[in-house]
Chain A
Amino acid sequence: MYKLRVNGLSAWFQNKQVLFDIHLEFPEKKVIAIIGPSGCGKTTFLRCLNRMHELTPGARVEGKVILDGKDIYSEMDAMEVRRKIGMVFQKPNPFPHMSIYDNVVAGLKLMGIRDRKILDGIVERKLKEVGLWDEVCNDLKRSGAQLSGGQQQRLCIARALATEPEVLLMDEPTSSLDPASSARVEALIRVLKNNTTIVIVTHNIQQAARISDFTAFIYNGKLIEYGETKEIFESPKDPLTEKYITGRFG
């Protein structure tokens, strides 16, 4: 059963096409890595999956992205899509005017959930999930912007998880983190896989090999190869893929 099916997806910035007719499927509760050289369209692809691409002025999308049988572009509204398909960005972006507590439950509180007991429970659960609880449980009132980079990124993951998304998109979530923080995030991804489908963009080939079940290789806006990570890394079918994963370009 596929969680998400991408059908003939193309994307543009103004008149410049950056994604070309991409077809692929993401199985449920798996980790899918998106790899490819800088500028090939990984971020754009990810942003097309939860309708963030359309926020950029002049940006346009064609094709279908089907979540549980429903096209996110024609059969759902953008806000519903983004609640079901959460996103973590490359640069940690906690809301600087909010406390750690409010950052975690921002998506819920601002949508009208006020019940203190429910919110308290979610804050604790999500911060524990991302391994931040022990570090911050005594100053939940502190500003989220005062945490270290690695802590901020885990806070942002907790924030994305608080609305219980079915799919989580992560754009190079560890690229601004030190090795220890990166390892924590990777461990977290393995746990999250139990009930979430995760699509992760990464520049780190080893990371893709370590944590993903499936890998998609994009080059110049085209999907070159997609399949089980093991196969992609052990016996790539396309010479470009082989060149990329053996580090001979990009």
Chain B
Amino acid sequence: MNLRKIKNALIRITSTIVVVLITIPLLWIIFDVFIKGISVIGLEFLISLPAPIGEGGGIANAILGTLIINAMACAIGLPLGIATGIYLSEYSNDSTFSTFIRTIIYTLSGVPSIILGLFAFALIVIRIGHYTAIAAAFALSIIVIPIVAKATEEGMRAVSIEIREGAFALGLPKWIVVTKIILGVAKSSIITSSLLAFARISGETAPLLFTALFSYYWPRGINEPMASLQVLIYNYAMSGFEAWVIRAWGASLLLLLLVLFINILVRRISTR
């Protein structure tokens, strides 16, 4: 056996070991959440409200709350993110101003989410005088915007000059070329990033603690405190009541399945 073969084998073996080592904890987490969470999941759990302190009950209001808050965050974040991406790709002419905007937007994606929560707290919660889901949606939308803006810009920039010229040569005005051709070609990367942004904010907890906080009742309006899976997990897991701790695991499993489902969806879209 020569040296080259030994080196080759060595690298193959070490990299395989590393992959196995990092996969174990990941699978362990999924497995653990599954084992601990699956026992409470049932129809009752999914469709009823929490029971009084320390007793059983369901998490329906938190499921609904997370969906409402995410939907609102996307309703704000997706159009703004897509519009920003369109501007940066098609209308910025790579000016100093656009470089400035791009830097700002992409720095936003590095800001710890707890700071976004604090910001929404100071800007909205303190002014209004009570916790509100609107502030939560606002904080989460700031997470959505850079993710979607970046994917939109990159997806649109990747559209070749040949395709663009083919569209202009048909006598189409620029706005139609941009919205129907270039955006159309970039559509799947925009959808993919929107789904990933949705998954990402489904896991954010810190911003919600400062904004929507929690509620043991059905959502009564968007300008009210609102339950969410994330904060429910946080509250229940820390409560010390066995019935609640196990419900925190059940809620964790639901969140995990949601994120898993979205990621599988994304893979299917992007490999199509």
Chain A proximity mask over B160-195: 1 for CB below 8 Å, otherwise 0: 101101111111110010001100110100000000
The reply to whether B171 and A163 contact each other, CB–CB distance below 8 Å, is yes
A96 is an interface residue with CB less than 8 A from chain B: yes
A117 is an interface residue with CB less than 8 A from chain B: no
Chain B proximity mask over A139-176: 1 for CB below 8 Å, otherwise 0: 00000000000000000100110010000000000000
- The 24 sampled A-B contact pairs (Cβ below 8 Å) are A52-B168, A55-B165, A79-B171, A82-B168, A83-B171, A84-B171, A86-B170, A89-B162, A89-B165, A91-B162, A93-B160, A93-B166, A95-B167, A95-B184, A97-B184, A97-B185, A98-B184, A107-B170, A110-B170, A110-B172, A111-B171, A159-B166, A160-B169, A160-B170
Q: Given contacts A159-B170, A160-B170, list 6 more A-B pairs with CB under 8 A.
A: A50-B169, A83-B171, A93-B165, A95-B167, A159-B166, A163-B171
The reply to whether A80 and B170 contact each other, CB–CB distance below 8 Å, is no
A32 is an interface residue with CB less than 8 A from chain B: no
A106 is an interface residue with CB less than 8 A from chain B: yes
Most chain B CB neighbours (cut-off 10 Å) among A55, A91, A95: A95
Q: What residue in chain B is nearest A90 (Cβ atoms)?
A: B162
Chain B proximity mask over A93-106: 1 for CB below 8 Å, otherwise 0: 11111100000001
A87 is an interface residue with CB less than 8 A from chain B: yes
Q: Chain B residues with Cβ under 8 A from A111's Cβ?
A: 171-172, 176
Residues 127 to 172 of chain B near chain A (Cβ within 8 Å): 160, 162-163, 165-172
The one of A87, A94, A110 in contact with B169, judged by C-beta atoms closer than 8 angstroms, is A87
The reply to whether A82 and B171 contact each other, CB–CB distance below 8 Å, is yes
The reply to whether A80 and B165 contact each other, CB–CB distance below 8 Å, is no
Q: Chain A residues with Cβ under 8 A from B172's Cβ?
A: 79, 107, 110-111
Q: What residue in chain B is nearest A111 (Cβ atoms)?
A: B172
Interface residues of B toward A: which range? 10 to 19
Most chain A CB neighbours (cut-off 10 Å) among B165, B169, B172, B181: B169
Q: How far is the CA of A94 from the CA of B15 in the complex (A)?
A: 43
The 4 closest A-B pairs by CB, nearest first: A83-B171, A107-B170, A82-B171, A87-B169
Number of A interface residues at 8 Å Cβ cutoff, please give it.
27
Most chain B CB neighbours (cut-off 10 Å) among A50, A89, A110, A156: A110
Residues 91 to 149 of chain B near chain A (Cβ within 8 Å): none
Residues 194 to 218 of chain A near chain B (Cβ within 8 Å): none
The reply to whether B163 and A110 contact each other, CB–CB distance below 8 Å, is no
The reply to whether B171 and A156 contact each other, CB–CB distance below 8 Å, is no
Q: Chain B residues with Cβ under 8 A from A52's Cβ?
A: 165, 168-169
In the assembled complex, the CB of B156 is this many whole angstroms from the nearest CB of chain A, namely: 12
Q: Chain A residues with Cβ under 8 A from B171's Cβ?
A: 79-84, 107, 111, 163
The reply to whether A79 and B173 contact each other, CB–CB distance below 8 Å, is yes
The reply to whether A96 and B165 contact each other, CB–CB distance below 8 Å, is no
Q: Chain B residues with Cβ under 8 A from A81's Cβ?
A: 171
Q: Chain B residues with Cβ under 8 A from A156's Cβ?
A: 166
Residues 48 to 82 of chain A near chain B (Cβ within 8 Å): 50, 52, 55, 79-82
Q: Chain A residues with Cβ under 8 A from B170's Cβ?
A: 82-83, 86, 106-107, 110, 159-160, 163
Q: Chain B residues with Cβ under 8 A from A93's Cβ?
A: 160, 162-163, 165-166
Q: How far is the CA of A11 from the CA of B163 in the complex (A)?
A: 24
Q: How far is the CA of A106 from the CA of B185 in the complex (A)?
A: 14
Q: What residue in chain A is nearest B164 (Cβ atoms)?
A: A55
